Amino acid sequence: MLLAVYIGKNTWLKNIVEKEFEDSELGKIVMRDNVRARRIIFRVRPDAIYITVPCGTEIRKVLALLEEYRSKLVRDKAKVDRKTIDLNFKIDRSLFQLSLISGQGEKFLAHSELGKTQIICSATARFEDEQLQEWLRKVIKEALRKNAKIVLPELLNKLSTKHALPYLSVKINSSQGRWGSCSMTKNINLSCYLLLLPMYLVEYVLLHELCHTKEMNHGERFWSLLNRFTDGKAIELRNELKNYRTEF
């Protein structure tokens, strides 16, 4: 992934030479001077984000551009970090299982039933091809969405009844920004990517949103309520959830 940014003439102030640091969101960042460079170039690699700058470029100029393009760099890093989907790729969770096998023909086929999807791949599949990778991700995303529309509303309803936490409606989306949300009118939205979580974390997210039907903010009363339904492990489960991402 490459991002190039042209800079003005009056930036030749302080020499960077080479600077390396850790960013809490982007990971390792390496800045390097290059005598031939006429622009600032960001390269996103699996091991780090490399920033090539014209010699003498002021470091605060580079840092300002880093913040300006942070959201794009985060997205590009997520793509670079993603696992290649090939015959070794598997999803094995309580609510969703997926595998790929090699077929005999030239076409790709998908076989799905509730909770389980199998993709039969072309015998000549080139898994390094980016277009194939994007197609496979779309197929998996659609399988997740279809399964989530059946499984998650039923599970939410059971937890709602069990804990006397009524809600108005539930919708399943493909959000990669959040696992779930609850509106002031008790409408709950859930991401289909919840199926990528262990079962106990799925239940935690659903209980979290159900508790918002009583307490809309994250104050003391909210966490006290959620603790009642999670054996006092609400904060522990919240912290564990941070280790998972809404993607595959």
pLDDT along the chain (248 residues), means of 10: 46 57 88 87 88 87 90 83 89 96 91 93 92 93 96 98 97 91 97 97 98 95 97 96 84
Task: Supply the pLDDT for residue 13.
Answer: 37
Whether domain 148-241 has CATH 3.30.2010.10: the reply is yes
Q: Are strands 27-34 and 49-54 parallel, antiparallel or unpaired?
A: parallel
| CA neighbor of 248 nearest in space, from 49, 52, 100 | 100
Model confidence over 78-129: pLDDT tens digits? 777 778 899 999 999 999 999 999 998 889 999 888 999 999 999 999 999 9
Average pLDDT, the chain: 89
Is the Cα torsion angle 203, 206, 138, 49 positive or negative in sign? negative
Phi, psi torsion values for 60, nearest 5 degrees: -70, -25
Contact 26, 73 (CB under 8 A): yes
Residue 148 to residues 170, 172, 238, Cα–Cα distance (Å)? 11, 7, 21
Contact 87, 66 (CB under 8 A): no
- Cα–Cα distance between 62 and 40 in angstroms, integer? 8
The full set of domain ranges for the chain reads: 2-81, 90-146, 148-241
- Cα–Cα distance between 224 and 247 in angstroms, integer? 30
Contact 203, 226 (CB under 8 A): no
Beta strands in 77-166 (DSSP E): 90-92, 97-102, 109-113, 116-121
Structure tokens at 231: 């054996």
Count other Cβ atoms within 10 Å, centred on residue 133. Answer: 16
**Predicted TM-score (pTM) of this structure:** 0.71
| CA neighbor of 117 nearest in space, from 140, 138, 136 | 140
Direct distance between the N- and C-terminal alpha carbons of the chain, in angstroms, rounded to an integer: 19
- Cα–Cα distance between 41 and 6 in angstroms, integer? 9
Task: Supply the pLDDT for residue 17.
Answer: 61
